Amino acid sequence: MSVPRAVRAEAFAPGHVTGVFAPAVVARDPRGRGSTGAGVVLELGALATAEFRPGAPNAVRIVSDVRAPLPISMDVARRLRPRARGTLTVRLRHELPIGQGFGMSAAGALATALAVTALTGASRTGAVRAAHLADLFGEGGLGGVAAIAGGGGVEFRVRGGIPPWGRVVRRDLPGRLLVGVVGGPLPSPRLLRNPRFLARVRDASAALPSLLEAPDVVGFFDASERFTDRLGLASPVVRRVLRGLRRRGWWAAQAMFGRSFFARPKLAAGPRDDLRWLSRGGFRVVGLSAAATGAHVTHRGSLSR
């Protein structure tokens, strides 16, 4: 196949905060592996631009706005690269901090997968599968791709894995969510390999099955607060922020896994004094809406043209 010039495609995948989760029973098929739990799909996320330039050299490159290597997104790009000889370059831009519980490994992997498959003409199902497997085996997370692939709002992962193995139920979340970072990143791969930590997760998520039987937004925030408190992973600074917000009439919980938090006022709007209190403390906070949709292609440039 002769391709006269470089072609380009773009995709977006939303970020995500998990409020409560439990490691799922390990399925024989890795497409059915992943956590059960609940979280919020965010309007900000990762943007990927995939460009294929035909001819030598035969290579795959990831260029991003972070200095650290991105092995999960690289794995996705290598799995899905065009069969023709040439250079595939994926440029990634992350709108939220990496390593702070905002699902950036899953978002980067899925945005990469959708952008590359938009070039090759491969299916969306294949893109989601490649991103899920790369995130799973690369120890980026236990269910982030399933959470963000199919829609926005509050997501409830009733059954682990990607469809049709997994099952996700969604509820709308009007208004804004406050998210903030109050410390350095947490090493989620190391935690997820620790049997003692996973046992703590199972104990802390004992009430999750009842939430998943009757998915409800208020129930999600209540369950997230209980999970944060019982798990005991929050740093002293995170705990101080959560206590302060709760005293002021907010739901507030730790974003899993990060030295970060998410919060929502129990009334229609949170008092401005609460935001000033956080700003005076030197905390980085931003108000976000829940995403209206899941991951999607924003520009398509097919090699088959």
Closest CA to 154 of 210, 254, 221: 221
Determine, yes or no, domain membership for 63.
Answer: yes
Q: How far is CA 155 from CA 35, 73, 127, 189, 274, in A?
A: 12, 23, 20, 23, 27
Average pLDDT of the segment spanning 202-219: 96
Determine, yes or no, domain membership for 304.
Answer: no
pLDDT band of 142, cuts 50, 70, 90: confident
pLDDT tens for residues 32-88?
A: 988 999 999 999 999 999 999 998 789 999 999 998 889 999 999 999 999 999 999
pLDDT tens for residues 222-278?
A: 999 999 999 999 999 999 999 999 998 999 999 998 999 999 999 765 556 677 788
Determine, yes or no, domain membership for 303.
Answer: no
Determine, yes or no, domain membership for 248.
Answer: yes
Q: How many domains does the chain have?
A: 1
The domain containing residue 151 runs over which residues? Answer: 1-297
Determine, yes or no, domain membership for 177.
Answer: yes
- Dist CA 21 CA 227 (whole Å): 8
Mean per-residue pLDDT over the chain, rounded: 91
CATH of the domain at 49: 3.30.230.10
Determine, yes or no, domain membership for 262.
Answer: yes
pLDDT for the residue numbered 305: 47
pLDDT for the residue numbered 115: 98
Determine, yes or no, domain membership for 224.
Answer: yes
Does the CA dihedral 114-119-124-126 come out positive or negative? negative
Determine, yes or no, domain membership for 305.
Answer: no
